[in-house]
Structure 1
């Protein structure tokens, strides 16, 4: 397996005119990348029919380079577009009657409305928030392009691990449904503002958004003062209370089988978040023939297939695997967050997907699901903005490694791209030896320590 390194990080000035880091690519504002323009889409309907994905795949092949992605937050991306083909893509989507959300991202669990374990259906509240933002006058709210709101009522595939500027986490009280309002993090790290009644949730979120609007178009949840917000909410705010039933961390990632009452949802993952238009079309045609009637985008670069009878689950799994999709919840690739790398991004310093394959081959004991490995083509860390247990990031002089860090943090060791395979083999040997004494890769990593790991990584490279 050969890893390639990018010799340049430049993008043509004309292509990037008016573009700043932090904007969100869309049909109205596509993002220049190493393989053309990219658009990111969030379907207006929580689920699409397999035939809708067939239409999307054909449009991606006709007007892009035939590569599609599902992001870590469960959005759809189409790659390889050109300035003259973006309007044609938009027209094709409109003709197929596939609409997409615009404006602030309001995200809900992928099984909302059909999960017997959820505290409530998150979708009605999310829709009310979108409508309130769209009709807010005067003045219209001017907010950060990547600002996000999570409405999470828990369940099998809750969003407790998703970072958001504003979070609403469901609480079931004796007096009815309430929402824990917090800012700037996931369900554990976000700073709590207050609990609000279901009927006050929309106005409470709008109050927070108005504060962000006042702070300026770059303001995010991390910039907010939770105590000041609590005072501003007035009678809408009340303490969360120790007796509240808070939603627990998500028990599993979307890939695999999920029992929903008498039915089963099948989660399939895109290999490192990407597939071809041809493979997606074959998958969707096959799933429709097996009885699937709805497919939902899901976090962690996945799709949730609904409508399959129990007898069709195994054929569905076989079909997905033939087309290169992942179907095992414990598959090693599920533990790796990978960006497009040098093959699809002008900032990418090396072939990240080839590096991920090397990691699977050389250090499988690291990929037991107890931690996340982030492989980033550069220091921006688009695929995993938060700290990861182990991060590999492209730098000018090679690939750098760090423990419990983000791609842009200070790195502990660096190797040349052509020496990455041997470096990962040494890491794999350390983890394998340590796992004889402990039961998870996370504990093994902690026992080994950052300095020992860095020494093994760069051994022989100096």
Structure 2
């Protein structure tokens, strides 16, 4: 079952291990007080496990329904959740994580946060990307309306799914984003659900011919110009472990990496970040197979990107991967250069058959 919305703190989603409560840190950054507060909340009212999503959000797992209200109250008190549920639902803003105070990314994202009330009521999965550094870093990450660096050096407004965008006048970026969101709703975008599936002709002022600048060169470790980055296997954080960090602040990314400020060395090494796997069974009621233990065993055997999905939804990765395993009726469908749920090359394999196929018993 594909739900047409993403969970928020005010609208949690039921999973096999309890409610998922999503936290959207402003500008993708938590102060030390907020970081420790999230850990305490996850331990007090959840399972102590926190997932980082491909929108750079945090999800507190394993929350019982009786614990949801005190958990949300704590998150509101920390400044991580808006006390207005409608405004919280509009805070789907993905921010290039290497921003500095006063630069274009920080300026635009901060203004958009302050003007959320100006946005129309958008479908639950629609979001914004503010990617205004020297070169784009969020090209492959989920967003519908993008402000990013253009090939000429200025900023452009680009609709997801379009190759080019319109040049922006400095200072007008948030006005343009709000107008674009209003056009999306007025032109029937709610029926499409996402900008990339909305094929209405763009308004003339948004249909520019300027292409984005070449993306920043990024190895899989995504070395960013802030102090220390730690890879998280499958985006999972243990609250007890995170509490031990001496970081001054923490930034989230859509790449299963956290960036610690005030730390001079990475706290984990050797983490594979070229395999995607959702939580799988039994934590997700829609998954029919285990995912992460198999992904850990298979990843060293595969040349390229691996995606193991518990069902055809493909929550862990929307883009194609070199090798894709999709759970179906307790077995795995194998496909190549495909997305989860694609027509399989070899259907109905079990874990032992997959390990043998890729070279180990």
Q: Which whole-Å CA distance do the structure 2 matches of 1:87 and 1:415 have between them? A: 42
Per the alignment, in what secondary structure is the counterpart of residue 126 of structure 1? helix
| Counterpart residue number, 2:296 | 357
| 2:124 is the alignment partner of 1:145 | yes
The higher radius of gyration belongs to 1
Closer, same or farther: CA 380–182 of 1 in aligned 2, 3 Å: same
Question: 1:126-205 alignment to 2 at 5 Å?
Answer: 126-136=109-119, 141-155=120-134, 158-171=137-150, 173=152, 178-185=154-161, 190-205=162-177
Query: So what's the TM-score if we normalise by structure 1?
Result: 0.70
Q: Which whole-Å CA distance do the structure 1 matches of 2:323 and 2:314 have between them? A: 13
| Counterpart residue number, 1:442 | none
Per the alignment, in what secondary structure is the counterpart of residue 30 of structure 2? coil
| 2:229 is the alignment partner of 1:267 | yes
| Counterpart residue number, 2:85 | none
| Counterpart residue number, 1:277 | 239
Closer, same or farther: CA 191–221 of 1 in aligned 2, 3 Å: farther
Q: CA RMSD in A?
A: 2.8
| Counterpart residue number, 1:34 | 16
User: For structure 2, which runs of at least 5 residues remain unmatched after alignment?
Assistant: 83-87
Deviation at 1:151, TM superposition (A): 1.5
Q: Please give the per-residue CA displacement for 1:366-405, whole angstroms capped at 9, x wherever unaligned.
A: 25xxx32111001110010122121111001510111111
Deviation at 1:334, TM superposition (A): 0.6
Question: 1:8-87 alignment to 2 at 5 Å?
Answer: 21-87=3-69
Deviation at 1:97, TM superposition (A): 4.3
| Counterpart residue number, 2:190 | 217
Contact 2:23–2:80 (8 Å) recurs in 1: no
Q: Which whole-Å CA distance do the structure 1 matches of 2:136 and 2:147 have between them? A: 16
Q: Which whole-Å CA distance do the structure 1 matches of 2:113 and 2:167 have between them? A: 20
Query: So what's the TM-score if we normalise by structure 2?
Result: 0.88
| Counterpart residue number, 1:299 | 254
Per the alignment, in what secondary structure is the counterpart of residue 185 of structure 2? helix
Q: Which whole-Å CA distance do the structure 2 matches of 1:167 and 1:21 have between them? A: 24
| Counterpart residue number, 1:452 | none
Deviation at 1:128, TM superposition (A): 2.3
Q: Which whole-Å CA distance do the structure 2 matches of 1:271 and 1:421 have between them? A: 23
Per the alignment, in what secondary structure is the counterpart of residue 281 of structure 2? helix
Contact 1:104–1:146 (8 Å) recurs in 2: no
Pick one of 110, 114, 128 that aligns with 2:97: 110
Deviation at 1:411, TM superposition (A): 1.3
Q: Which whole-Å CA distance do the structure 1 matches of 2:144 and 2:31 have between them? A: 31
Q: Which whole-Å CA distance do the structure 2 matches of 1:211 and 1:45 have between them? A: 25
Per the alignment, in what secondary structure is the counterpart of residue 295 of structure 2? helix
Per the alignment, in what secondary structure is the counterpart of residue 65 of structure 1? coil
Deviation at 1:253, TM superposition (A): 4.0
| 2:316 is the alignment partner of 1:383 | yes
Contact 1:36–1:79 (8 Å) recurs in 2: yes
Q: Which whole-Å CA distance do the structure 2 matches of 1:157 and 1:50 have between them? A: 28
| Counterpart residue number, 1:347 | 286
Closer, same or farther: CA 306–156 of 1 in aligned 2, 3 Å: farther
Closer, same or farther: CA 121–270 of 1 in aligned 2, 3 Å: same
Per the alignment, in what secondary structure is the counterpart of residue 308 of structure 2? strand
Q: Please give the per-residue CA displacement for 1:40-78, whole angstroms capped at 9, x wherever unaligned.
A: 111125422334222211211111112111112211011
Contact 1:194–1:230 (8 Å) recurs in 2: no
Deviation at 1:99, TM superposition (A): 4.1
Deviation at 1:96, TM superposition (A): 3.7
Q: Which whole-Å CA distance do the structure 1 matches of 2:194 and 2:124 have between them? A: 10
Closer, same or farther: CA 142–157 of 1 in aligned 2, 3 Å: closer
Per the alignment, in what secondary structure is the counterpart of residue 113 of structure 1? coil
Per the alignment, in what secondary structure is the counterpart of residue 305 of structure 1? strand
Deviation at 1:199, TM superposition (A): 2.9
Bigger share in helix = 1
